[in-house]
Chain A
Amino acid sequence: MSKYLVNLKINNMPIAVEEGTTILEAARKLNFRIPTLCNHPDLTVAGNCRVCVVEVKGARLLAAACATPVSEGMEVSTNSEKVRVSRKHIVELLLSEHNADCTKCFKNGHCELQDLSSEYRIGDHVFMDLVAPETKIQDISSPSIVKDDSKCIRCQRCVRTCAELQGVSALAVVKKGDHQKISTFLNKPMHEVVCTNCGQCINRCPTGALTERNYIEEVWNAIYDPSKFVVVQTAPATRIALGEDLGIPVGQRVTGKMVSALKKLGFNKVLDTDFTADLTIMEEGTELLTRLKKALVDKDETVVLPMMTSCSPGWIKFQEHMYPELLGNLSTCKSPQQMFGAVAKTYYADKINIKAQDMTVVSIMPCVAKKFECERPEMRDSGYQDVDYVLTTRELAMMIKQAGIDFNKLDNEHYDSILGESTGAAVIFGATGGVMEAALRTAYEIVTGREVPFTNLNIKPVRGMDGIKEASIKIKNVKPEWAFLEGVDLNVAIAHGLANARLLMEKVKSGEASYHFIEIMGCPGGCLGGGGQPIPTSPEIRKKRAEAIYSEDEEMVIRKSHENPEVTEIYKHFLGEPLGHKSHDLLHTHYKPRKRY
């Protein structure tokens, strides 16, 4: 259906836009910036903060530009006297209920309210301070997320994020009037509710009300501790986003600079989670093929299909809360981060002659759920906590700044070896569909002896930002030992963002679709849009990050996990074979049902 064009004027400049366009969108087309707080490109319109008010000629009320569609002949002023006075009032009001201890705030310098306050030159507070002292007690019950009600300006972006993008609603708006606040079920601490620790709320919080639990000081202490051998691993998606927090445009890969910076920070070894991503493919791919064999050949009815990926700790906790009956579908593989920790404190510690108890493993992750994951009691298979500290991409950027490193001028450096070699298949773990693509590249080749039948190994049907993607690959001319797969259509599905995951789970439960393998990433876009990635985020930003990831893949010499020489090495000298005894001990885990509500 074609849309009508609507003619209007904004600040006396004429423009024609499609019917249904908001004043805010129309103004952007004319390069007039209207400030916003509650508005976010990933979320439905709320229109509640009111900082985007504009004057429409002839109207009694100012209009919220984000929530008001254009109409024919409209004359809008985005900076009239009324608008300026109101907007300043609104910022002042927000500041009056906001704990404006900016210098002590984790978000200092990254706060949308601070920016607006500065823009409007808000000086001494006109209004009375409304911040109740009891709201200044932060909720630090979660190992991932810190909630500080005294910084909250009730824009409800977090609530919409949790409901609309994640389908979780651990956060809700409660009470009304002067008691209205953003809270949990019966105001319980964050670690007692259904929060998956995905951190998407943090990515969208305009102030410091929701932030990650930061472990920067702990990591510095470990680095400075001469008795500690500190190794750092970097997740695939960190290398395509870190630059954003260090003055580099969105979508630019900074892998080599990141490695260089980490070395300069004083880490003893700079290693790559991508290595264990490849390892994951070996284990998970084998697990899938084993499950298929048991189901198709042995007719083993205890085998659960579809198998679902287990890399994303937000997704895992979601499943433990929401679909405990489907826990058997989850691959038993640990996430790459945790495989790394377990291997680092055993195989690697041995190789480099360091005692596991003297080793500190730090992860740089695009994720805040990883902070929770590393503290799970199951994640101590080395005999110690396998991963000691998890820093977000953002925290790493802070450390780099603290160390006075001019990131932009750094040379590219290579990861240390071993545990530093990786493939294109590993790096695409950072994008939705990437684990699926990596698994298919390997599994197809194991079964048929040939490369996947897609140009340049790029399995396009599993890429892209559709919420749920489905694909089917016909397996033909298999090796004799895989005869049972001859002619099978391997049906796969991919979802990212937990609201989409829920939709997919319902399809699985109802039996409406029969898949063999499902990839789920907890965050929109996959890890590249993770809760620990630089802020802001938007569909465009995630698209650029995805492009960066796929270009990194294309440039890698090796692009299939099973061809990673270090992976071959570790099986030969340490693990034996995928799903073998040692793998079982170190690389696999189990899950536990949690409260549904």
Chain B
Amino acid sequence: MSTTEVLVKELVEKNGRTRNSLMPVLQGIVQKENFLSEEAMLCVAKELDLAAADVYGTASFYTFLDTVPRGKNIIRVCKTITCHMKGKDEIVNTLSSALKIKVGETTHDKKFTLLTANCLGWCHKGPVMLINDEVYPDLTPQKAMEIVEEYSKSTH
């Protein structure tokens, strides 16, 4: 069995073999593998007895359930109005040139994916970004760079 198969089986074991457990199973895969691969979705379809298109259709509804390959660390810079007003463009541009990728792209070493996101719920402390599940409010370009560098060091 591949690692993905093992992972899916574990998640299904833990969350149950019903449609209601589809979200936690998909979330668990993304947690470990950064995105939902074709193999992963096929495994889920098989384990939960769903059609593959149905699994894909459901996953693709949710912004955080990526179905294209993503880096180890997914950066999501909030793009909604208050963060926009407080300078999210500078943050995005800084990270984009530092990582040498455009929004939506992943670095060659697969360490980072740079994305923008709709309101992250930190409008009083914008600009803000998520890296994976961690939140970084009150950003400046300088601060954003430092945070990403930290991740760069600790990611192998």
Contacts and interface: CB of A to CB of B under 8 A. Distances in A.
Question: Are A and B in direct contact (Cβ within 8 Å)?
Answer: yes
Interface of A: 163, 168-176, 183-186, 193-194, 596-597
A195 to B, nearest CB: 10
Interface stretch (B44-52, B89-97, B137-145): B44-52
Contact of B61 (A169, A175, A185, A194): A175
- By Cβ-Cβ distance, the 7 closest A-B pairs, closest first, are A169-B51, A172-B57, A172-B53, A597-B52, A185-B52, A185-B53, A174-B60
A175 B60 contact: yes
Given A175-B61, A176-B61, A170 B46 contact: no
Contacts of B53: 169-172, 174, 183-185, 193-194
B61 A186 contact: no
Given A175-B61, A597-B42, A597-B46, A186 B51 contact: no
A163 B38 CA distance: 21
Given A174-B60, A597-B46, 5 more contacts: A163-B51, A184-B53, A193-B52, A597-B42, A597-B52
B41 interface: yes
A186 B56 contact: yes
Interface in B22-63: 38, 41-42, 45-46, 50-57, 60-61
Nearest to A173: B57
A194 B52 contact: yes
Contacts of A170: 51, 53
B119 to A, nearest CB: 15
A163 B50 CA distance: 10
A168 B55 CA distance: 13
Contact of A169 (B41, B54, B67): B54
Interface residues of B, number: 16
Contact of B56 (A163, A168, A174, A176): A174
Nearest to A175: B60
Interface of B: 38, 41-42, 45-46, 50-57, 60-61, 67
10 contacts: A163-B54, A170-B53, A172-B54, A176-B60, A183-B57, A184-B53, A186-B67, A596-B46, A597-B42, A597-B51
Contacts of B56: 172, 174, 185-186
A329 B56 CA distance: 32
Nearest to B38: A186
Contacts of B50: 169
Contacts of A176: 60-61
A317 B45 CA distance: 19
A351 B33 CA distance: 66
Nearest to B62: A176
Given A186-B38, A186-B67, A597-B42, A168 B60 contact: no
Contacts of B38: 186
A322 to B, nearest CB: 10
A186 B57 CA distance: 9
Contacts of A175: 60-61
B144 to A, nearest CB: 27
Centre residue among A171, A174, A194, A597 by max chain B CB count within 10 A: A597
Contacts of B55: 185
A176 B67 CA distance: 14
A137 B92 CA distance: 34
Nearest to B58: A172
Nearest to B44: A597
A176 B65 CA distance: 13
B42 to A, nearest CB: 5
B48 to A, nearest CB: 11
B71 to A, nearest CB: 20
A185 B53 CA distance: 4
Centre residue among A163, A185, A193 by max chain B CB count within 10 A: A185
A597 B54 CA distance: 11
B79 to A, nearest CB: 15
B40 to A, nearest CB: 12
Given A185-B56, A186-B56, A597-B42, A172 B67 contact: no
B60 A185 contact: no
A183 to B, nearest CB: 8
A332 B51 CA distance: 28
A172 B51 contact: yes
A168 B61 CA distance: 20
A597 B55 CA distance: 11
Contacts of B41: 185-186
A174 B59 CA distance: 8
B104 to A, nearest CB: 13
Contacts of A168: 51
A376 B38 CA distance: 28
Contacts of A185: 41, 51-53, 55-56
B29 to A, nearest CB: 15
Nearest to B59: A174
Centre residue among B45, B55, B56 by max chain A CB count within 10 A: B56
Centre residue among A170, A175, A193, A596 by max chain B CB count within 10 A: A175
A174 B51 CA distance: 13
Contacts of A186: 38, 41, 56, 67
Contacts of A194: 51-53
